Structure 1
């Protein structure tokens, strides 16, 4: 065993040195002998030598330090909770720190260099506390904490995007930073991170005994005098401080803290100290390797490839693998949401119809101007611009709500929706890829491309989760992984795009700004056809919701019916994505709100969730137009903030009620 330990560390260290040498060879035109001579003699004579000493060497050191720190924190979190899917990313640490830094960069940019890490620590602490409050103590060991972290990540990212869209002069640099960039201009960032790295030996000294006792069992740990709450608070505080420093200097590199500890365990690290030390080494190796790939790809394509993009591309498949390995068909552990009232009343129908009509009236007639608020019937020119936006929002929200309702009933998963399962991401990936490859405007690509992307994603999802019989945990984790891949593509587009890519970025926020009347009519017609088809198939959806055995006993061809309904859900999502862009939370939230209002039967829920989804999107579009007048926020961004906030509120309410 000791020999294996020695060989494992020796080979890993040699591999780390080899990766560092390869990275320097890719980055710098200097030969190895010239590099060695420059380091030993420190005689600078040309620009390449300056770049080597003050650009590439600190970049490698930063990759080693940040990768090791994130992996160490990831290993610590996973051992504390015995949850191998936990990391600074899934716990919400990174997104909280990122939002705090975006806010500070916009409103107090002079404080970023001197006090940025303290604000990042505050944001990371608040987001982590919120995730833990939603998941609860028992939820830290399974899926609930990952789902809570996912919801918080989407919400905080939406708020950060809203801030960037209203302060676009900061957008380019902040997008590069947020994508995870290791580029260095001197040794200042390394020197800034060095004091925080003193936490590493402190964690290595204090935590192994605690983690060993926790692994044996909380009861035994308490019997040995270990008070769990203060210990977790202390270790989490040190971890948050370390992650906040890293995010402040290089941006978000979330998957490192997930990948490295699992690689360490796979290669034989079992004891607490061994897992921590070897995870640190694997984290440095993973990040340096990802940075090497990013540099090489950037040279081939003549663009800047963020290191965070390559980390996400490496990490998402591992997350899929871990999800399929960890969770089974019997794993139904999830988050609780309040059920609401039991019976749908005519008063609710009337109230929702009146509310939707009122929102349409306000959106069409009430708007700010240079003279103040005006409530007027729009003239012909204003009407020609305004009605496509309003009615596109209405039918887009209804379509996403209907798609989410079908998915939730078919998969028997209350947290299923087109955005969480990756179906929206598949449509987005197809549209963005065609735009980047062919140069065709994303507004002209069409719904067919989006539908193909959605169906391919849906097929992958079904294929990967079929073995576990579509267990909610597996389906959701695979969807989150696919979404992470799309985020990596989007981040790459943000960094590498020329001027013609910025309309794509506006579209990615779910904007109604460029919607034409022709596309509005197309969306309305598609929705009406698909809505009618769903009504015709309501018996099939009811039987499939009850289970395949009951459905087959009633004579239903379950496979055929499921394929048709899944295709309808994908087509609804693709239609919206092609016209408006990806929308988050509407497909998740509207079906739940319908159930909370008493819509238990399929037909009632089908109609009611469409009304709710449409009303939410009309409200989001109007708020996006008037809140920061004369500036505008995309309806999708506003809907994500509103829907995400309410969804988090529901999760908190469900958690506290239990």
Structure 2
């Protein structure tokens, strides 16, 4: 590495140190306590400094170094420049395990959170690696699978957190990745983890250098590739799980540190493994210094992990053009050869009838304090005007999400494509939260406008990225995931403030149709019809794009215009549905697959079938949300995500090369 590189590293270290020093001076300008610290002889400000600020600064360095090392190990063993504990779902797995244990089995935490966090992180990593093994660990597939697993885990954790209000604030702050410390215990624990991880990385550095030749080349030289991969992944899971157990969810430090190391001139495996922890420590320490500075200016203490998430999204987009190992279009079959209906029109008519019958039945059946009941005719007529708008809205939202999912899956030839990862849902969430925090008592109209604008901004970001680079379509999918990650990080920061708006954001994130009126239902229904017509108008593009870019271009498809147009239709549909459902639904993933399994192979039939199935799924979820917790209404998004999560896991496990 050059002298310029070392000067850059020194400047970054000094910047982080100055930020921490300024924060320390604001708390205690003079009379710093002397080591060793004795609380019985110290003033209150000195105790806060010695057992709060100082261990916080130390643990930022420790955690950053650990995450940087974990990211470097994962990127080396998978030969994937965008692999890290966040993009592979490892940190989110630990988060979900800790949230579920805190709420449902708190006794398991009496001996500490480490075992639970490591179990969750290991389960998520095992799932992603099993999926990756079926695709020869292709980088794009690995990241899509990992981030979808992570999004699923985060969605379920959010829904569970919302369902138990007594744990809400503490879990939200912890999920954001707070570095607040009360003693030096966490520093000692993570210090031992860092030493162990560094020793393990030193032992694995030479096999990783051999593995950098490729699995075939390393195997020919006598390296046990499977054993090395297993050892490195176990070490990375241990490192990431330890940080999650101690501090919560801190994202993208493991992605940024190795990338910065390579950009500063690190070329060999040893250089990257040595430099990434140092850069990770500087990065997290600098982010925490910024958080401490903002807390003095605003009076709010944001979780540091949310700020690091804002770095990861742009960095992931920057790295996408450099990502190798793209999945060839049309090669990721999810469920084997799908059947093909000779007369799909009959099945479509049957689905229309089923949708209407289901809606009527779900209005007719209900719960009363004495149990389940079937309404008489007079009661049915009285309840119909009350329930019909929300049924129409739920069905329209399900149709919109299903159409968006069908478009994305056909456009990318990727069975894991869904509206949730396009980035529009995340952008809509930011728009909704911005209206709540920036306006005084915003009404439904202002909230809807803010939500649509947020979705439009996210759509513009993804579209501009797609239009400026000639990339395979699955890279556009990753760009959407990056936008979603940035949105999730910002929401974590806003919700961790503990304000009244935080509760409103959390409630909306889970989805609800309880406040839908006739006008909103009519707008959603009209928009669903418009989107169906637009998608049917693009049927030729949807027929040819799954064959691959070269074939589609040879048959006259204008690739850039087609992709941008289809992304726009999917974005509009997702943004409109998100206003009602929230960003936690997986209907856009399930409905298109169900339509394919029923035999809707042609694009037109597939679009119509997916729209009807999406409506049926969301109407069913709305009924479950109303009845499961009677007399209280549970979140609509909770039911949709609980339907989608098992489907997602099953679908990814069936993927084959």
- How far apart are the structure 1 equivalents of 2:91 and 2:553? 47
**Map of 2:507 onto structure 1:** 506
- How far did residue 318 of structure 1 move? 0.6
**Map of 1:316 onto structure 2:** 313
1:237 equivalent in alignment to 2:234? yes
Q: Is the 8 A contact 1:166 1:631 kept in 2?
A: no
Relative to structure 1, is the Cα distance of residues 470 and 363 closer, same or farther in structure 2, using a 3 angstrom cutoff? farther
Decide which moves more: 530-539 or 495-504: 530-539
For residue 105 of structure 1, the aligned residue among 88, 95, 102 is 102
- How far apart are the structure 1 equivalents of 2:562 and 2:432? 28
- How far apart are the structure 2 equivalents of 1:107 and 1:604? 44
**Map of 1:367 onto structure 2:** 366
Relative to structure 1, is the Cα distance of residues 118 and 544 closer, same or farther in structure 2, using a 3 angstrom cutoff? closer
Q: Deviations over 1:94-125 (max 9, x none)?
A: 11111110111112324325232111111111
Decide which moves more: 130-139 or 550-559: 550-559
**Map of 2:442 onto structure 1:** 441
Q: How does 1:193-208 map to 2 (within 5 A)?
A: 193-208=190-205
- How far did residue 563 of structure 1 move? 6.1
- How far apart are the structure 1 equivalents of 2:556 and 2:219? 57
Q: Is the 8 A contact 2:511 2:584 kept in 1?
A: yes
**Map of 1:303 onto structure 2:** 300
**Map of 1:326 onto structure 2:** 323
SS across alignment from 1:445: helix
- TM-score normalised by structure 1 residue count: 0.90
- How far did residue 64 of structure 1 move? 0.9
Q: Deviations over 1:265-312 (max 9, x none)?
A: 111222222211211101111111111122222332222211111101
Q: Is the 8 A contact 1:199 1:242 kept in 2?
A: no
Q: How does 1:192-591 map to 2 (within 5 A)?
A: 192-327=189-324, 332=329, 335-338=332-335, 339-343=337-341, 345=343, 348-349=347-348, 352-353=351-352, 355-377=354-376, 378-379=379-380, 382-409=383-410, 415-441=416-442, 443-445=444-446, 447-535=448-536, 538=539, 566-591=567-592
- How far did residue 612 of structure 1 move? 0.9
**Map of 2:79 onto structure 1:** 82
Relative to structure 1, is the Cα distance of residues 291 and 446 closer, same or farther in structure 2, using a 3 angstrom cutoff? closer
Q: Is the 8 A contact 1:418 1:587 kept in 2?
A: yes
Relative to structure 1, is the Cα distance of residues 422 and 18 closer, same or farther in structure 2, using a 3 angstrom cutoff? closer
- How far apart are the structure 2 equivalents of 1:296 and 1:422? 30
Relative to structure 1, is the Cα distance of residues 230 and 154 closer, same or farther in structure 2, using a 3 angstrom cutoff? same
**Map of 2:148 onto structure 1:** 151
- How far did residue 551 of structure 1 move? 8.8
- How far apart are the structure 1 equivalents of 2:227 and 2:212? 17
Q: Is the 8 A contact 2:80 2:323 kept in 1?
A: no
Relative to structure 1, is the Cα distance of residues 344 and 432 closer, same or farther in structure 2, using a 3 angstrom cutoff? farther
Q: Is the 8 A contact 2:329 2:413 kept in 1?
A: no
Decide which moves more: 391-400 or 432-441: 432-441
Relative to structure 1, is the Cα distance of residues 16 and 513 closer, same or farther in structure 2, using a 3 angstrom cutoff? same
Relative to structure 1, is the Cα distance of residues 130 and 558 closer, same or farther in structure 2, using a 3 angstrom cutoff? closer
**Map of 1:166 onto structure 2:** 163
**Map of 2:188 onto structure 1:** 191
Q: Is the 8 A contact 1:28 1:52 kept in 2?
A: no
Q: Is the 8 A contact 1:97 1:247 kept in 2?
A: yes
SS across alignment from 1:374: strand
- How far apart are the structure 2 equivalents of 1:201 and 1:544? 47
Q: Is the 8 A contact 2:177 2:306 kept in 1?
A: yes
Q: Deviations over 1:601-627 (max 9, x none)?
A: 232112111111111111222222333
Relative to structure 1, is the Cα distance of residues 554 and 450 closer, same or farther in structure 2, using a 3 angstrom cutoff? farther
- How far apart are the structure 1 equivalents of 2:310 and 2:293? 15
Q: Is the 8 A contact 1:151 1:644 kept in 2?
A: no
**Map of 2:602 onto structure 1:** 601
SS across alignment from 1:367: strand
- How far apart are the structure 2 equivalents of 1:488 and 1:201? 29
- How far did residue 215 of structure 1 move? 1.5
Relative to structure 1, is the Cα distance of residues 632 and 164 closer, same or farther in structure 2, using a 3 angstrom cutoff? farther
Q: Is the 8 A contact 2:141 2:327 kept in 1?
A: no
In the alignment, structure 2 segments of 5+ residues that lack a partner are none
Q: Is the 8 A contact 2:84 2:255 kept in 1?
A: yes
SS across alignment from 1:115: coil
In the alignment, structure 1 segments of 5+ residues that lack a partner are none
- How far apart are the structure 2 equivalents of 1:370 and 1:39? 65
SS across alignment from 2:445: coil
Relative to structure 1, is the Cα distance of residues 382 and 115 closer, same or farther in structure 2, using a 3 angstrom cutoff? farther
- How far did residue 206 of structure 1 move? 1.1
Q: How does 1:579-658 map to 2 (within 5 A)?
A: 579-655=580-656, 658=657
SS across alignment from 2:307: helix
Q: Deviations over 1:567-610 (max 9, x none)?
A: 44333333222344335322233223322322222321121111
Decide which moves more: 72-81 or 570-579: 570-579
Relative to structure 1, is the Cα distance of residues 21 and 390 closer, same or farther in structure 2, using a 3 angstrom cutoff? same
- How far did residue 490 of structure 1 move? 1.4
SS across alignment from 1:600: coil
- TM-score normalised by structure 2 residue count: 0.90
- How far did residue 214 of structure 1 move? 1.0
- How far apart are the structure 2 equivalents of 1:333 and 1:150? 21
Relative to structure 1, is the Cα distance of residues 412 and 231 closer, same or farther in structure 2, using a 3 angstrom cutoff? closer
Q: Is the 8 A contact 1:435 1:445 kept in 2?
A: no
Q: Is the 8 A contact 1:147 1:335 kept in 2?
A: no
- How far apart are the structure 2 equivalents of 1:554 and 1:333? 17
Q: Is the 8 A contact 2:307 2:493 kept in 1?
A: no
- How far apart are the structure 2 equivalents of 1:152 and 1:197? 27
RMSD: 3.2
**Map of 1:12 onto structure 2:** 9
Relative to structure 1, is the Cα distance of residues 258 and 364 closer, same or farther in structure 2, using a 3 angstrom cutoff? same
Q: Is the 8 A contact 2:467 2:564 kept in 1?
A: no
SS across alignment from 1:518: helix
- How far did residue 168 of structure 1 move? 1.7
Decide which moves more: 396-405 or 13-22: 13-22
SS across alignment from 1:373: strand
- How far apart are the structure 1 equivalents of 2:547 and 2:328? 18
- How far apart are the structure 2 equivalents of 1:374 and 1:573? 35
